[in-house]
Amino acid sequence: MSLTLKELFNKIFKILNSKKIENPGLEANMIISHVLKINNEKIFMQNNKKVYKKNLSKIYKIVRQRIQDKPMAYLVGNTYFYSNKFYVNNNVLIPRPESELIVELGCKSIKNTKDPEILDLCCGSGCIGISIYKNLRWKPQIVFSDISAKALKVCKKNLNKFRIKKNSIVIESDLFKKIDRKFNLIVCNPPYIKNADFLNLDNTIRSYEPRSALVSSDNGTNHLKRVIKSSKKRLYDNGVLVVEIGYNQSKEITNFFKKQGFSDIVVSKDLSGIKRAISAKWKK
């Protein structure tokens, strides 16, 4: 049995469309190009190329998983963040566009620091720290840390991919427990969703992404507050902490930063206008 690329594309498009997948054309394209290992554009340039049974079965298997809500990034094993393609699997959160704000704020805060020392805490795939590294003129030393050994395996794969293994250290740690040095910049996108909100998330997220990457106790603020409190000992004078926060946490977390003695506290909005990140300076 075989189908031409055009027939195959149309068939998958129809299936995905009937299941109300948001971008059926784009996703059909991604699935085919992933399995056949060809460029997206080539699918349309090779309309009559035949696809045979073995590859058809692989493609249909992915389509079946996709219509059961498995995220595309896990199915094809990668996703784009800050214009770069990161390796991902279901042991890490899929990097979100709103987290690109942390990269912007982090880079801005150390653009004039020579040889900065940086910590990407709760690093997951490593997307934030790696994007900062790639955007700095002076290549920094970056520590990547996460509580999950499986997530750190993914992070290490990305460090290899982007050739920054030499400039990085990977530490498995519950927040700062195994981190005993200071930094000029700490970036952190911790779990910050409260359990009740988690239960209302889309099935694509709830059933497939690691719960431990998303949910935090105390109305979602437990990790954030622990990070802010412990950062004081782990920042050099004038060092900066940048954290991502939930849609309704700006007031509570800003107050907590103040209470802990941070200065220059700035709340930034993401592209949807949601208060999504807070940066603050630590002065002794």
Ligand X SMILES: C[S@@+](CC[C@H](N)C(=O)[O-])C[C@H]1O[C@@H](n2cnc3c(N)ncnc32)[C@H](O)[C@@H]1O
Site of interaction with ligand X (CB under 6 A): 92-93, 95, 99, 122-125, 127-128, 146-148, 151, 174-175, 189-191, 212-213
- Residue closer to ligand X, measured from CB, 190 or 239: 190
**Residue 249: what are its φ and ψ, rounded to 5°?**
-105, 0
| ∠ Cα 22 191 239 (to 5°) | 120
Q: How far apart are CA 204 and CA 210, in angstroms?
A: 11
Q: How far apart are CA 203 and CA 243, in angstroms?
A: 26
CB-based closest residue to ligand X: 124
In the complex, the smallest distance separating the C-beta of residue 200 from ligand X, rounded to whole angstroms, is 17
- Residue closer to ligand X, measured from CB, 35 or 235: 235
- Residue closer to ligand X, measured from CB, 174 or 237: 174
In the complex, the smallest distance separating the C-beta of residue 149 from ligand X, rounded to whole angstroms, is 10
In the complex, the smallest distance separating the C-beta of residue 227 from ligand X, rounded to whole angstroms, is 9
In the complex, the smallest distance separating the C-beta of residue 189 from ligand X, rounded to whole angstroms, is 4
In the complex, the smallest distance separating the C-beta of residue 174 from ligand X, rounded to whole angstroms, is 4
Q: How far apart are CA 110 and CA 117, in angstroms?
A: 9
Identity (one letter) of the amino acid at 175? L
- Residue closer to ligand X, measured from CB, 29 or 216: 216
**Residue 45: what are its φ and ψ, rounded to 5°?**
-85, -15
Q: Which residue carries 């990977």 as its tokens?
A: 170
In the complex, the smallest distance separating the C-beta of residue 142 from ligand X, rounded to whole angstroms, is 12
- Residue closer to ligand X, measured from CB, 31 or 242: 242
- Residue closer to ligand X, measured from CB, 3 or 193: 193
User: Which tokens belong to 180?
Assistant: 């005993």
What HEC string does 168-205 produce?
Answer: EEEEECCCCCCCCCCEEEEEECCCCECHHHHHCCCHHH
